Structure 1
Amino acid sequence: MSRTSTARRRVRRGPGVALVTAAAAGLLTACSLSYEEAQCSDGEYPVLAVNNSGSQCLKNGEEPPEGFARYPEGKVPQHVGDKWDEYWMTHTLDENGKIVPLP
């Protein structure tokens, strides 16, 4: 094989490798972008079950029903899996509004 044919083959592979590399980088970038699922829909807010691990969403302006309470200020989960969502999986409020660990 002559030097010329080897050089041509390298040139031909170069763009293919570059395209594959660019495509892989694009896929990795797209996969690294995360989608954060909101705790509640627009116009709603989350409430926590008292002495329980449950929660629900209420329309803005509605008061929590019996057995539910508003999350303490500054400790309201905004997205599924965020810091406060994880925290409230192991904690709750008692009937006096005190934060207690779940049994």
Structure 2
Amino acid sequence: MPRTNRPAILLRAGRLPVVVAAALAAAAAATVLTGCADFGYQENICGNGEYPALSVGGTGSACFSDKEEPSAGYTRYPAGKVPQQVDDKWDVYWRTHTLDKDGNIVAAPDAG
């Protein structure tokens, strides 16, 4: 009995494109199901034309237009310590730290 070369049989039978399409579909599904984490996507803290501000004495934050100052109860982050993307170094840091009414960095009272 002669040996057959399976890929050649698939190609002759017209099945190779179906197999390739199925493999590509499986790869696409795996990418979607993993949340695209392998692509390094990071969500910005604020949108274009906005900056983040920290709530005084707490870990909350809000975004304000570049054209306005933060509202009462919020202050700008210290220079060089402004979070840019969700879960970046400074976003994580400010979850357990805050600024007091005098602008000093202190441990956040609600940090667990």
User: Is the shorter-chain TM-score for this pair beyond 0.5, marking a shared fold?
Assistant: yes
- Deviation of 1:21 (Å): 9.5
Which consecutive residues of structure 2, in runs of 5 or more, have no partner in the other structure? none
Give the paired residue count: 99
> In structure 2, what is the equivalent of residue 19 of structure 1?
20
Q: Output the TM-score relative to the length of structure 1.
A: 0.75
> Residue by residue, what CA displacement relative to the aligned partner does 1:74-96 show, whole Å, maximum 9, x if unpaired?
11111112111111111111111
Q: Distance in 1 between matches of 2:81 and 2:26?
A: 37
After superposition, the CA RMSD in angstroms is: 2.8
> In structure 2, what is the equivalent of residue 58 of structure 1?
64
Amino acid of the residue matched to residue 80 of structure 1? Answer: V
> Residue by residue, what CA displacement relative to the aligned partner does 1:7-50 show, whole Å, maximum 9, x if unpaired?
2x24346957x837973796467831133221111111110001
Amino acid of the residue matched to residue 2 of structure 1? Answer: P
SS in structure 2 at match of 1:85: helix
Q: Distance in 2 between matches of 1:12 and 1:80?
A: 51
- Deviation of 1:59 (Å): 0.8
> In structure 1, what is the equivalent of residue 81 of structure 2?
75
Amino acid of the residue matched to residue 79 of structure 1? Answer: Q
Q: Output the TM-score relative to the length of structure 2.
A: 0.70
* Cα distance change, pair 11–73 in 1 and its aligned pair in 2 (3 A): same
- Deviation of 1:66 (Å): 2.0
* Cα distance change, pair 13–92 in 1 and its aligned pair in 2 (3 A): farther
Matches within 5 A, 1:1-103: 1-3=1-3, 6-7=4-5, 9-12=6-9, 19=20, 23=24, 27=28, 31=36, 32-103=38-109
Which consecutive residues of structure 1, in runs of 5 or more, have no partner in the other structure? none
